[in-house]
Structure 1
Amino acid sequence: MVNNDHMDVTELLESAFLLVPEETATDNDITVQDIWDYLAHDEWQIALSLLEELGDGHPLPLTFWEQPAEAAEQLRLERSAAWCHWRCSEIRNGMIRADLTLRPATEARRTTPISGHGVLRPMWDIGNLSPTGGASVSIAGLWVEDMPVLEPGGRATVRLVPLTPSHWAHVETGQRISMNEDRTVAGTAVVLEVHLPATAMPTS
């Protein structure tokens, strides 16, 4: 963990930008140099937002996300702070993207929307078995892409961060998994991408 105790917002953001290759650009052709210009004029919130956008499209080290997370906390930008901390978790524990459909309120116990910003840590049936041969669920945090909440019966692309990455080593693209908040199924998902730490992947 980086010691940010004596770093101000500008220093934190500058340190993160130094980790981005100069040729990197966003989908809107915003470059690192453009963001430096915002920093030079103390446009911290814009700079932070663009920094997140740069990081979304390119694999960058853990430190890149730790420093903006601290900057966002200092600026009291809760959503940005949550996202940057979430990306740190993805690097540490891996990430599975999936197409999730929640069961409608008339068919499931949940009748309220779920938070989209990494608060929920539901159980997932990913095909693991207990010592007695029954289903064994695994916990993973849930982030809904591009939506603040997901309503019962709704569908969205989600990002899952496993609590125990090794439990997910066998999960593969196209696999169907189910989400549980209690003993009943709350939703089903189809795996789109799997990105786990090297230590969690099966050896050949």
Structure 2
Amino acid sequence: MNVPELLEAVSLLVSEETATENDITVRDIWDYLVNDEWEIALGLLEELGNGHPPPLAFWVELADAAEQLRLERSSAWCHWRCSEIRNGVIRADLTLRPAAEARRTTPIAAHGVLRPMWDIGHLSPAGERAVSIARLWVEDMPSLEPGGRATVRLVPFTPSQWKHVQPGQLITMHEDRSVAGTAVILEVHRPATTMPAG
């Protein structure tokens, strides 16, 4: 199988000359590619992206490779990381209200499908609460049950509305007028100011 996007991503890895014993290198990835273990190679490259942030082109190439390999979860994650670079990302500790106290009675799918509204402190011209929309990705879990708690990643639809958000701030999640959950901001990463090629 010819997946040039993986080969391009491999070129962004640590070279053999500068690698420590804990680094994944070009040679490591090539060993998997030569043995037709594309899914393992792709998984290793995805994990590398969690360290020093690679450029947008890295995630675009990995997304293309995952699509060719029909790895839906990997493809969704790589596209999500592209969105984080373009729009910024907020990591937060989210606690959903229990099903008996909220509109939601089913789990939230973890992989960036839900686009809830968030009360992040804005008011409308009339002085009423104004909400902002951000997509939600639940880390390290396939779904989040009502009443559950997890670390989530939020990608704002309008990054400029989220400029004031800071670690430690409490925000509320809404799927209607009622509060669906509360979140404490853990980290804020602003959008890339200059977009790398990709």
TM-score (norm 1): 0.89
Structure 2 alignment gaps of length 5 or more? 194-198
- Give the counterpart of 1:154 among 148, 159, 169: 148
Kept in 1: contact 2:119–2:129 (CA 8 A):
yes
| Displacement after TM superposition at 1:30 (Å) | 3.4
Distance, in Å, in 1 between the alignment partners of 2:29 and 2:52 is 16
DSSP 3-state at the match of 2:125: coil
Whole-angstrom CA distance in 2 between matches of 1:25 and 1:123: 44
Structure 1 regions of 5+ residues with no counterpart? 1-7, 200-204
CA 1:134/1:9 → structure 2, altered by over 3 Å: closer, same or farther? farther
The residue type paired with residue 10 of structure 1 is V
Name the one with the larger strand percent: 2
| Match of residue 10 from structure 1 | 3
Aligned length: 191
- CA distance in 1 between partners of 2:185 and 2:173 (Å): 12
**Matching residue within 93, 96, 105 for 2:99:** 105
Higher normalized contact order (CA 8 Å, seq sep 6+, divided by chain length): 2
Question: Which one of 84, 87, 104 corresponds to residue 81 of structure 2?
Answer: 87
In 1, Cα distance between the equivalents of 2:160 and 2:2? 36
State the identity as a percent. 73
Over 6 Å off, 4+ runs: none
- 2:13 equivalent to 1:20: yes
Task: Report the alpha carbon displacement of residue 118 of structure 1 after superposing the two structures with TM.
Answer: 0.3
Once residues 178 and 141 of structure 2 are traced to their aligned partners in structure 1, the CA distance between those partners, rounded to angstroms, is 25
TM-score (norm 2): 0.91
| CA RMSD of superposed structures (Å) | 1.7
Preserved contact between residue 124 and residue 140 of structure 1 (Cα < 8 Å)? yes
Is 2:135 the counterpart of 1:175?
no
Deviations 1:56-113 (A, max 9, x none): 1121100000011011111111100000000000000000000000000000000000
Name the CA distance, whole Å, in 1 between partners of 2:170 and 2:99. Answer: 21
